[in-house]
Amino acid sequence: MDFMNTVKAALVTAALVLPVLPQTGLASSGGPPLPQEDWSFKGIFGQFDQAALKRGAKVTIEVCLGCHSIKYIKFDHLRQFGFTEAEVSEMAGGAGLTKQDKLVSGLAPADAKESFGLVPPDLSLMTKARKGYEDYTFAILTGYLTEEDTALVDAAKEDGTLSPEEITKLASALHMDPHHPEKIDEAVKRIANGDHFNKYFPGNFLAMPAPLSAGAVTYADGTEATVKQLAKDVTTFLAWAAEPTQTERKSTGHKVILYLIVLTAMLYAVKRRIWARVHH
Amino acid sequence: MFKGIMEWVDERLPVTELIKSQATEYPTPKNLNYWWNFGSLALFVLIIQLVTGIFLAMHYKPDAALAFDSVEHIMRDVNWGWLLRYLHANGATAFFVMIYIHILRGMYYGSHRKPREILWWFGVIIFFALMGTAFMGYVLPWGQMSYWGAAVITNLVSALPVVGQDLVVWVWGGFAVGDPTLNRFFALHFLLPFVVFGLVILHMWALHAVHSNNPDGIDLEEKDTIPFHPYFTIKDLYGVGVFLIVFCAFVFYNPNFFLEPDNYIQADPMKTPAHIVPEWYFLPFYAVLRSIDFLGTMSKLVGVIAMGAAIAILFILPFLDRSPVRSFRYRPISRALFWIFVVDCFVLGWVGYNPADATVFGGMPIIYVGRTATAIYFSYFALLWLVTALKVEKPQPVPKSL
C-alpha cells in the first residue's frame, strides 16, 4: 500500500497548495514573460491600496474614459474607497456626467470604429479576462516603445537593411525572437508607418496608441506621475473594478476557514473516540 | 409526546423502521477506508449545487442579450451573489473531483463486480447525466468560452450520418449557437440535476440491496459489520469538514483558478478565441475525440464514437474482469495496469488542454502522444480482460474474513 500512500500525499499536497497559488501560476500569456509587480491586493491577505485606487480612478476617468467605458461601475461606487460625495460629483462633472451615471465613454462606438477600426473594449473585467490577469494589463500599459527603443528603431531603419548587430539589439529591446529577423524587419517598417507597437500584445501591433505619458495627470497626493506609476495605479483601479467584492470575499474567507478548521478538528476528535470501540 | 406522534405515523407509514434498517442500523463493513468517503461527499456537493443553483436562477437571465450582464449583476449587486456564483462554479469542479475518485475507487476495489453490476450501472448513468449538466451549465454565463465550447461540442452532432446536419440545427434551434440554444440549455440545466437526484436514489437503493463492497473485496460475515450510525455518520461528517476546508480555500482565495479568462469576455459569434478549451473535467475525453484524425472524412464520427465509448465501456467493466478476486489489493498485475491507466488519464488531460497542432519534446506533434494515450486508455480494459480470462494473473491469498 506504499503506492497508495504516495497518491494520498500527492492529493493532499495539491489540495492545500493549489488554492493559495497565485493565479498567474497556470496562466501565462504565451508571449514574452510579463513584468512582475507587487500588487497590494494579491495573495490571501492582500488588500487594495486605497491611495493607489484613488490615483488610479483619477487617471482612468481623465485618460482611459476618453475611449473606453467601465460599464459595471458608477461614479457613486467610487465612494467605497474613500472619495467624498463632492469629489465623486466633481469627477463625474468633469466627464460631463453625474454621480449616478456609469463610467461610460463620451466617444460614441461608431466614431471609435471610424477612428480606430474597432470599438475599444469595456474595461470592467479587463484584469480578469486576459491570461496573466493584472500583470498583463500592466504589461500592455507599459509595453509601448520607450524613447531609447524609438531611437534604436529610427537608427535601424535609416539605412534600409538591418545588420546582425541591430537585429540582436532590436530583438532584446522589443522582446522579439532574434531567430526571426524578417519579423523584426517587418515590425520596424510598420513602426515607421505609424502603427502602434507593443512588446506584450499578441502579434505586437494593436489599434490603441500609447495611452499613458509621463505627467498625463497631476496627482492630488503629490506622487510623481511616471508612466510606470500611472500604469500601476490604473491597473490597481481596474482590478478593483473587475471585482469590488474581492476584499469582502477574502475577509469572509478567513472567518469561514478558521471556523471550519476548528469544527473539523472537533469532528476528528469525536470520530477517534467513537471508532476506538471498533476492534480491527 | 414525540413518541406518540411517531407511533401514530409508524402505524400508517413505517418511517422509524426505514430509518433504522436503512440508516442508523444499516450494516456497514468495518474496514472501509477513507476512499469510501467520496460517495457521501459527492452527494454533499450535489446538495450544494442544487441550493446555490436555485438561488442563482432567481437572478440569472437566460437571454443572449442579458445573460452575461446578469452574471455580473449577481457578482456585484446581489447580496452574497459573488459567494453563490463562486460556490456553484467551483462546485462543478469539486463534483467531478469527487466522482472521479469515487469511480476509480470502485475500479480499484472491484466494487462493480457481481452482485453490484446494477449499482455500478446507475453510477455510470449518473456520470453521463452530470457531464451533460456541467456542459450546459458552463454555457449559461455566455462568455467567449461558453459560446465557442458549445459551438464545438454541439457541432459533433453533425458527424452523425444522414440526420446529423438536420439534427444539429434542431439542437441549436437555429443555424448557429444563439439565443434559442441558451434558453433551452438553461431549461435542461435546471431539469437535469433533479434527474440526477432521482438516479442517486436508485443508486442508493441498489447499494442498500447488495451492501457496500470493502477494501478486501470479500463477502463479509455479520460480525465484520458495524452500524452506519454512529460510525459512518461521524466519519462522513469529518470527511465533509476536510472537504469544506479545501473547497472554501478555492472559493474564497482563488475562485477563478479553474475558469478560463476568456469567459469574462462576453460571447461574440464573430470572433473565435485563439484556443478553445473545454473545462478540465472534459479534457481527457476531448483528447480521445481529437486523437482520431487519421480516417479522413470518417475521423469526426469515429472520434465521437471513441469519446462516447471511453465512458460507455464502464458499463461492461463488471464482465471484462474475470478474476475470482475482486480487490486489486491482492492482484499485482491488475494493480499495475490500474495505475498506468490513472497516469494515462492525466496524460490525456494534458493533451486535451494543449492546442491540437502543438508540438512537444522538441518538435513531436502532440497528436502522437494523444493517439498513444488513447490506445493505452482502451488497452486497460482489453488487458484487464486478457490477464484475468486467461488466468495470467495469480491473485495473492485473500482473507476469508476480517
Query: What's B74's domain CATH number?
Result: 1.20.810.10
Residue type, A85: E
Q: Per the CB < 8 Å rule, is A20 touching B253?
A: yes
Domain boundary among B249, B274, B299: B274
pLDDT band at B277 (very low <50, low <70, confident <90, very high): very high
CA distance B19 to chain A (A): 21
Active site residue ranges of B: 208, 212, 235-236, 279
Q: Are residues B212 and B63 in the same domain?
A: yes
In a domain, B234, yes or no: yes
Q: Of B246, B253, B257, which has the smallest distance from its Cβ to A253's Cβ?
A: B253
Angle at A161 between CA A160 and CA A162, to 5 degrees: 130
Q: What is the pLDDT of residue A165?
A: 87
Residue B214 belongs to some domain of the structure: yes
B218 and B293 in a single domain? The answer is: no
Q: Do B252 and A3 touch (CB under 8 A)?
A: no
Does the beta-carbon distance from A133 to B261 stay under 8 Å? yes
Mark whether B269 and B297 lie in a shared domain.
Answer: no
B338 assigned to some structural domain: yes
Q: What is the DSSP string of B255-304?
A: TTTTS-GGGGSB--TT---SS----GGGHHHHHHHHH--SSGGGHHHHHH
Task: Tell me how long chain A is.
Answer: 280
Nearest to A20 among B76, B82, B249 (CB): B249
- Give the structural domain span for B320: 277-393
User: Closest chain B residue to A277 measured between Cα atoms?
Assistant: B231
Residues of A in contact with B146 (CB under 8 A): none
Q: Which residue of B has its CA nearest to A244?
A: B76
- B-chain residues near A276 (CB < 8 A): none
Q: Are A129 and B256 a contacting pair at CB < 8 A?
A: no
CA pair distance A121, A163, nearest whole angstrom: 39
Contact assignment for A256 to B242 by CB distance below 8 Å:
no
The pLDDT of residue B164 is above 50: yes
B333/B250 same-domain check: no
* B229 plus B105 within the same structural domain: yes
Residue B5 lies in a domain: no
Domain end: B221, B249, B274, which one?
B274
Residue B38: inside a domain, yes or no?
Answer: yes
Domain count along chain B:
2
Identify the band that residue A23 occupies on the pLDDT scale cut at 50, 70 and 90: low
CB–CB contact B245 A19 (8 Å): no
Indicate if B227 and B281 belong to the same structural domain: no
Compare CB distances from A125 to B226, B242, B264 and report the shortest one's residue: B264
Q: Supply B224's cell numbers.
A: 465484520
Q: What is the pLDDT of residue A166?
A: 86
Name the grid cell of B389: 480470462
* B218 and B163 in a common domain: yes
Is A3 in contact with B254 (Cβ distance < 8 A)? no
- What is the per-residue pLDDT for A27? 42
Q: Are residues B130 and B143 in the same domain?
A: yes
CATH number, domain containing residue B283: 1.10.287
- pTM of the shown model: 0.94
Residue A74 has what pLDDT? 97
- SS3 (DSSP) at B276: coil
Q: What is the mean pLDDT of chain B?
A: 97
Percent of all residues in chain B with a pLDDT value above 70, rounded to a whole number: 100
Vertex B280: Cα angle to B154 and A246 (nearest 5): 110
Asked if residue B400 is part of any domain, the answer here is: no
Which residue has better confidence, A265 or A31? Answer: A265
Give residue-wise pLDDT tens across range B334-355.
999 999 999 999 999 999 999 9
Contacts of B245 in chain A (CB under 8 A): 257, 260-261, 264
Question: B254 with B233, same domain?
Answer: yes
CB contacts of A257 in chain B (<8 Å) are 245, 248-249, 252
Among B274, B298, B324, where does a domain finish? Answer: B274
Does residue B230 lie within any of the structural domains?
yes
ipTM: 0.93
Q: List residues in chain B touching A: CB distance below 8 A.
A: 30-31, 72, 75-76, 82-83, 86, 226, 230-231, 234-235, 237-238, 241-242, 244-246, 248-257, 261-262, 264-265, 274, 329, 339, 402
Judging by DSSP bridges, how do beta strands A196-197 and A205-206 pair with one another? antiparallel
State the pLDDT at residue B350: 97
Residue B344 lies in a domain: yes
On whether both B250 and B290 belong to a single domain, the answer is: no
* B202 and B283 co-located in one domain: no
Same domain, B233 and B184: yes
Helices (H), chain A: 2-17, 50-62, 85-94, 109-116, 133-142, 147-158, 164-174, 181-192, 227-242, 246-275
